[in-house]
Amino acid sequence: MPELPEVETVRRGLIPPLEGHVLTHVEARRDTLRFPIPKDFGKRLTGRKVLAVRRRAKYLLVDFDDGQVMILHLGMSGRVTMSYGRPNAYEKHDHLIFESASGWVLRFNDARRFGLVDLTTIADWPNHPLIKDIGPEPLTDAFDGAVLAVAIKGRRSPIKIVILDQTVVAGIGNIYASEALHKAKIAPERPAADLSRADCDRLAVAIKQVLERAIEVGGSTLRDHVQPNGELGYFQHEWSVYGRTGEPCRICTAAIEQIVQTGRTTFFCRTCQPA
DNA sequence: CGGCGGTCCTGTCAGC
DNA sequence: TGCTGACAGGACCGCC
């Protein structure tokens, strides 16, 4: 579920209950997610005040008043749920609990446990092994067609696979890779290095537009919870190709097709995205 | 270095 | 209804 827009939506939802508030109780209910949860996780964060909730690629970063930074990745199935006051009961797969002096209780729930949490510091987080090699943030001026052209130089893999590479551009996942390529009218199988400079410009713009629109729609669903049930918000109703095999392209009415690339499904319109 | 396949884990859904 | 297998929004790791 969580690609950049979903993580950004969660980030925005976490600001009111967390920023400027002390965590009165923090608890890890198991030892391991994708990696071991840091020792004394709860003890190290209980009593700390949250200074900011930030995002880098698909990672959430929570800054604390003692210089600690919590890194949280939602993996495939991770979600954050909020309740005002303690819930009657924890749900299955509620792994991390954060009680805030604001009155809100946050729970990180992740059935598949591909998510991860780690603790680092304000000085060290950019060099964290999971973060240091990540490419430019797509919604900033650090990313454009020129930057993309350099990043994909010499890459013979299909462009769909290459934009999923987090060192090329941060935050693209399987849904938005297909969506951006359709918007840019580029076939997913084309070797990345064969893209023209004009292709790169169109693709960079399409990536920005698709992600921005998804954030806009996802963000509008927030109120007293962070994405109910971890659902995608309303952007799924606007998907152009993802999950629409056999349905008519919204641009040309041709049937949407699907292929498998490196084990993952890709959706496209052969008319709009000629090989 | 680039590219590919295997792998972590559980839930859901289609098909029999 | 119950079982089985395929598949799912991520990304690291080892191997070629």
Q: Which tens digits make up the pLDDT trace of A112-130? A: 999 999 999 999 999 998 9
Q: What is the pLDDT of residues A30-41, one digit of tens each?
A: 999 999 999 999
A124-160 b/e with 16+ CB inside 10 Å = b? Answer: ebeebebbeebbbbbbeeebbbebbbebbeebebbbb
Q: Is A3 a catalytic residue?
A: yes
Give the pLDDT mean for A43-66. Answer: 97
Please give residues of chain A from 197 to 236 whose alpha-adjacent beta carbon (CB) lies under 7 Å from any atom of strand B: none
> How crowded is the C-beta side of A120, counted as CA atoms within 13 Å?
17
- For the CA of A188 and the C1' of B13, the distance in angstroms is 27
- For the CA of A3 and the C1' of C10, the distance in angstroms is 9
Instruction: Tell me the average pLDDT of chain A.
Output: 91
Q: Cβ distance A50 to A23 under 8 Å?
A: yes
**Distance separating alpha carbons of residues A4 and A265, to the nearest angstrom:** 19
Give strand pairing partners of A248: A255
DSSP string, A34-70: SSBPPTTHHHHHTTPBEEEEEEETTEEEEEETTSEEE
**Distance separating alpha carbons of residues A57 and A44, to the nearest angstrom:** 25
Q: Is the CB of A152 under 7 A from strand B?
A: no
> Residue A232 contacts by C-beta under 8 Å, 6 or more apart in sequence?
A1, A6, A218
Question: Which of the nucleotides in strand B have any atom less than 7 Å away from a protein CB atom?
Answer: 2-11
Q: Cβ distance A163 to A138 under 8 Å?
A: no
Q: Is the CB of A133 under 7 A from strand B?
A: no
Question: Model-level pTM?
Answer: 0.94
**Distance separating alpha carbons of residues A50 and A174, to the nearest angstrom:** 32
The pLDDT confidence band at residue A238, using thresholds 50, 70 and 90, is confident
**Distance separating alpha carbons of residues A13 and A74, to the nearest angstrom:** 15
> How crowded is the C-beta side of A225, counted as CA atoms within 13 Å?
14
pLDDT value of residue A236: 75
Give the pLDDT mean for A247-261. Answer: 93
Residue A25 confidence (pLDDT) above 60: yes
Q: Is the CB of A60 under 7 A from strand C?
A: no
- For the CA of A96 and the C1' of C4, the distance in angstroms is 33
Q: Cβ distance A42 to A26 under 8 Å?
A: yes
Q: How many CB atoms lie within 10 A of CB A65?
A: 11
Pick the range with the lowest mean pLDDT from A96-100, A128-132, A198-202.
A128-132
Q: Is A38 a catalytic residue?
A: no
| Residue recorded with tokens 């001026």 | A141
Which residue minimizes Cα–C1' distance to B10?
A112
The pLDDT confidence band at residue A229, using thresholds 50, 70 and 90, is very low
Taken in order A123, A125, A127, A132, the sign of the CA dihedral is: negative
C1'-nearest nucleotide to the CA of A165: C11
Give the pLDDT mean for A140-159. Answer: 94
Q: Cβ distance A67 to A76 under 8 Å?
A: no
**Distance separating alpha carbons of residues A228 and A249, to the nearest angstrom:** 29
Residue A224 confidence (pLDDT) above 70: no
Which is catalytic among the residues A12, A155, A213, A264?
A264
- For the CA of A112 and the C1' of C7, the distance in angstroms is 14
Q: Is the CB of A156 under 7 A from strand B?
A: yes
**Distance separating alpha carbons of residues A134 and A83, to the nearest angstrom:** 33
